Structure 1
Amino acid sequence: MGAAAQAQELEVMHWLTSGGESASLAVVRQAYQDQGGRWRDAPVPGGSSARAAAVNRILGGNPPPVFLFSVGTQLTELSAHGLVMPVPGAGPEWDRVLPPLLARSAKYQGHYMGAPLNIHGENWMFYNAALLQQASLAVPRTWAEFLDAAARLKAMGKIPIALGGQPWQERLLFNAVVLGVGGRDFYRQVYEQLDPAALASPTMLEAFRVFASLRPFVDEGSPGRRWNQATAMLMRGDAGFQFMGDWAKGDIRAAGLEPGVEIGCALAPARDQAYIMVVDAFAFTPPRDAATAAAQQHFVTVMMDRDVQAGLNQAKGSIPVRTDVPEDGFDACAKQAMALIRDPATNLASTGMGLPGGVAGALDDAISHFWNDPRLSPEEGQELLRKSLLAFR
């Protein structure tokens, strides 16, 4: 083997082990190897487990040179403690081609602390197109229309909402309602500013009223259900709608269905269009030698290539981090998202991306508590959320 290829050997730690995830990483790996690199795979199934394993290796003195993480406060904390280094090869071009919110979120003290891999959107409403047609239903554009549609589906003996009963899934649904009822500026007031006035406002109370009104349209089997099991309900025609991130498209494709066709996609009903973003990114630890440093920089160059970005995101169901990637080859849902995020006003951070870990955990706990206790009134739910979040101010 040539010296150049040997010099490019690189251990890459990640959690991309499912079908669509593995296919997306394979695009990066193949391009890296085609350009003379040697890739040493270090998979750890599960995002939480993989993040914990990376941190443990760093603290234990055996840091992975490249590891997958999520853009957000936990990565910022690693940067603040000097445990990761600025992304090698990140330059002014990134500021031009990345959505502004992503560019800001991926930086610490003016330097990129992670090389973003993809952009996922959390506020999608997937639906069984044949079932809606059978019920003579149009795709709901408001929450009032959605409640009418849900009532009709329930009368037909169908489950209106396929929901996995886990706190993070309940929070996705709640945040879609918050955006839908209050709009983009209100969402930012709540989750970027933790604004006490917004948390105590009539708008937030209305969000809780709408959220509570969705409870009767979820089946009794929801508690503990995984998201992919809920997606299967949608694909079988047992349920009409699922509110889920665009990673659901991987399972939809694997079942031989086309996102945007048999399983339709629309952004959850909202006053104004917005995309609640969650971003995976690779982070880098200081290299042990010049060969590792060269390999790290080569990895970044390959991953940020426009063709590689197109291929990996088509495989994963996400959209490219670069706004200059052509839409050719993407499904209808992705094309809608790619067009939307080019307007910075539409870019919103997921709570996992924008809130410190303790605050995000308190949010999930409060929402799950309210959702799973029908005795709680919307007023009580609002007060529970207000107290939970303001405890961290």
Structure 2
Amino acid sequence: MHWLTSGGESASLSVVRDAYRDQGGSWRDAPVPGGSAARAAAVNRILGGNPPPVFLFSLGNQLNELSTHGLIIPAPGADEEWDRVLPPLLARSAKYQGRYMAAPLNIHGENWMFYNAGLLRQAGLAVPRTWAEFLDAAARLKAMGKIPIAMGGQPWQERLLFNAVLLGVGGRDFYRRLYETLDPAALDSPALLETFRTFAALRPFVDEGSPGRRWNQATAMLMRGDAAFQFMGDWAKGDIRAAGLEPGVQIGCALSPAPEPAYIMVVDAFAFTQPRDAETAKAQERFVSVMMEPGVQARLNQAKGSIPVRTDVPGDGFDICARQAMELIRDPATHLASTGLFGLPGGMAGAVDDAVSQFWNDPRLTPEQGRDLLRRSILAFR
């Protein structure tokens, strides 16, 4: 079971499927569009007594909950090599009571700023390096009749933009204080207030058609030249490639403006249920072995726009954006966890999304009210 249904996602899964079949495996897909729907469908099947032997999930607290209740088994074939080749943050998050409970597929970065290089040249604009520069550029683009920010109006997309701003205003240590240690001082800080001020200043640069728009529809706006920027995870590169464009060329990429390099990670991973027979157990182990092969890791991530979970995969064949990310994550200090599924408990993650979305969609709310809304949302689950 999986949610890999867009162009780039489907191409990446095909890499694993073809390699698996080449080794004699039999494959049957059960796609469910949308991560949230697919995760819910997998859990429902498990609870209903018809568990999928292999299903896509995400590292984080929801996976730990499945482990706690004994609904999944340790990843077949996981060994000490994983400790050596996986980034430390990813390895810690994939384990429960010292055992790997999922096989990570890829590493995505959430804090990317994609841009239409031709539009920026036409406007005579350099790539913004600060949020102040971005606001100036956005105003200039809007005056030209262009949509500065291609954005889908869904809470998780709004949260991606908010967290990019938060990282840009406060830096990575502030990000950790807010989301990892839940520091009350950070929740009541001037830096968080400034984050909401900057976030609010971006509202006029999103078009009226944003509400309900999917992320790949916003990416299409960027590729057509209808919009200049998109703040989105690097899964957008899969669709950019599928459209025959080269990430880093026609569609440029840069990390969102921030005072120091950081990578907000989200990791897709496959989990496994108790096999019904020896043949299924062997198939699960073959699946993990195939997916973790360095060559398969390279090809599937090139198709998807993500980077390999193995740090020993060379950068040959990857686009310039991915090579930048692969080099960046060699420094563990740059690793940050996504608040969507990776870093916060499920209830708190949803509360953060709700607070951010409520502020974004109600221009009457002041930055002070936004900060208070987020603070109360997080402390309610602390």
Structure 1 length-normalised TM: 0.95
User: Could you list the runs of 5+ residues in structure 2 that have no partner in the other structure?
Assistant: none
Q: Which residue of 2 aligns with 1:89?
A: 77
Q: Which residue of 2 aligns with 1:147?
A: 135
Tell me: CA distance 1:346–1:199, structure 2 relative to 1, closer, same or farther (3 Å). same
SS where residue 160 of structure 1 aligns? strand
2: CA distance between counterparts of 1:66 and 1:159? 42
2: CA distance between counterparts of 1:244 and 1:223? 16
2: CA distance between counterparts of 1:251 and 1:27? 16
User: Could you list the runs of 5+ residues in structure 1 that have no partner in the other structure?
Assistant: 1-12
Matches within 5 A, 1:151-300: 151-300=139-288
2: CA distance between counterparts of 1:221 and 1:44? 26
1: CA distance between counterparts of 2:279 and 2:213? 46
How many residues were matched structurally?
Answer: 381
Q: Which residue of 2 aligns with 1:358?
A: 347
2: CA distance between counterparts of 1:72 and 1:103? 11
CA contact (8 A) 2:129 2:258 kept: yes
After TM superposition, give the deviation of residue 21 of structure 1 in Å: 1.4
SS where residue 56 of structure 2 aligns? strand
CA contact (8 A) 2:112 2:256 kept: yes
Matches within 5 A, 1:339-354: 339-352=327-340, 353-354=342-343
After TM superposition, give the deviation of residue 15 of structure 1 in Å: 1.9
After TM superposition, give the deviation of residue 294 of structure 1 in Å: 1.6
Residue type of the partner of 1:224? G
Q: Which residue of 2 aligns with 1:9?
A: none
Greater displacement, 68-77 / 15-24: 15-24
CA contact (8 A) 2:6 2:239 kept: no
2: CA distance between counterparts of 1:36 and 1:255? 32
Residue type of the partner of 2:106? N
SS where residue 72 of structure 2 aligns? coil
1: CA distance between counterparts of 2:275 and 2:369? 52
1:367 aligns with 2:356: yes
Residue type of the partner of 2:255? L
2: CA distance between counterparts of 1:296 and 1:233? 40
2: CA distance between counterparts of 1:131 and 1:175? 25
2: CA distance between counterparts of 1:30 and 1:251? 20
2: CA distance between counterparts of 1:293 and 1:256? 39
SS where residue 136 of structure 2 aligns? helix
Q: Could you report, residue by residue, the CA deviation over 1:187-246 in whole angstroms, capped at 9, with x for unpaired residues?
A: 011111221110100111111111111112112222222212211221122211110111
Q: Could you report, residue by residue, the CA deviation over 1:244-275 in whole angstroms, capped at 9, with x for unpaired residues?
A: 11111122122221110011000000011111
Structure 2 length-normalised TM: 0.97
After TM superposition, give the deviation of residue 46 of structure 1 in Å: 2.3
After TM superposition, give the deviation of residue 45 of structure 1 in Å: 2.6
Identity %: 84
2: CA distance between counterparts of 1:159 and 1:14? 33
Q: Which residue of 2 aligns with 1:113?
A: 101
Q: Could you report, residue by residue, the CA deviation over 1:58-112 in whole angstroms, capped at 9, with x for unpaired residues?
A: 1112211111111111111000001101111111110111111000111111111
2: CA distance between counterparts of 1:156 and 1:105? 46
1:317 aligns with 2:305: yes
